[in-house]
Each structure stands twice: as structure tokens, then as C-alpha cells.
Amino acid sequence: MTNLGRIVAVIAAVLLLVGAMVFFFFRYSFTAEGLYRVQSAVGIDAPQPERHIVENGFQGWAVLHFGVEGASPLPEDNGVLVVEYPASGRLETSTAASGDAGFLHREYFRRTQNGLEPLSRMGEIWGEYNVLVVSDDRGAETGRSAGFFVGTLAEFRASDRPSIGSGPLDLPPLQN
């Protein structure tokens, strides 16, 4: 009977632990920062969270070019990288690309008169791409880029979006 009691106690402890983890995950992980904290707490090497901000009324491709010599580094706010795009939607930074393939560490906002307004990945953000390597015609790396489209699905489908083919990466040009 003691073996059965131990088995029941272990099962109950595991269920309590799983329940606590699920509660913690759902309570704190709906933000990039929350997910980062959960992943870090359980020992997962997580990418630094990013907050991408476009101007009110912005529509089109927001493109970030990483590792640009002479450009400003991305500022941080409590461990969150802040990526604030100018009206053109093109930004260069000396900050190195993280190189990860995940998008869960990113949040998207529009700056309004009332502060930051979240952008929905289910209706306003399309075509996210993460850390594409930009190459010259010889295949040598010339930079890294990440981006996303802000607008409707119809606008996204009609846009000239970044693509990768057999040649160099075709990105929208930087416009200052």
C-alpha cells in the first residue's frame, strides 16, 4: 500500500507542478517580455524581446538592416530592444542580428497621440521575415535584414515584398 501511496503522491506533485507552470505561462507569456522571462526561468536560451514601433498611419514594409557600421545601436527598455521606425519604414542599426528563427519574441505597436497601440498579427501584420542574409552577386554576405508588412491582407498581397531567389536577396531600398 505504501508503494501505491508514493505513486499517487508523485502523480499529484507532477500535476501540481504542471498546473503551476501552465498558470505561470498563461499569466505572463502573452507578451514578448513575458515569454522571454518564462523561457529564461526554465533554462531555455531565449532571444532578447523586441518592441517594433511604427508611426501612426504607417502602411507598407518596415525593414530593419542590422550591423550597419556607423549607425546607432538599438536602445533598450528594461531588457527589451526598442525598434522605432521612421516614416519611411526603413531603419539601420549597428546592433547585430540575433540570428534566431523565432517570432514570438517580437511585439508590434503603432505610436499614437495616446501612446503605443498594439498591432494585431491576425489582421495588421503580414509577411514577417526574420534575419535574412543579404548577399552580393558572388554570394558574400553584405548584411542582415528583418521586416514585416503593416496593412490589410489585400495590400500585402499587392506589395513588392522581399524575396529570395537564386541570386542576391531583393529587399526594398533604404529611403531616408
- The span from the first CA to the last CA of the chain, in angstroms, equals 76
pTM of the model: 0.66
Q: Is 105 exposed, middle or buried (0-12, 13-18, 19+ CB in 10 A)?
A: buried
Is 82 in a helix, a strand, or coil?
Answer: strand
The whole-angstrom distance between residue 22's C-alpha and the CA centroid of its chain comes to 23
pLDDT at residue 58 greater than cutoff 50? yes
Contact 35, 27 (CB under 8 A): no
Neighbouring residues of 38: CB distance < 8 A, sequence distance ≥ 6: 24, 25, 28, 29
Average of pLDDT values for 18-31? 58
Average of pLDDT values for 86-112? 82
Average pLDDT, the chain: 76
Distance separating alpha carbons of residues 133 and 26, to the nearest angstrom: 34
Distance separating alpha carbons of residues 158 and 114, to the nearest angstrom: 31
Is 48 in a helix, a strand, or coil?
Answer: coil
- Residue 8: its pLDDT value, please? 84
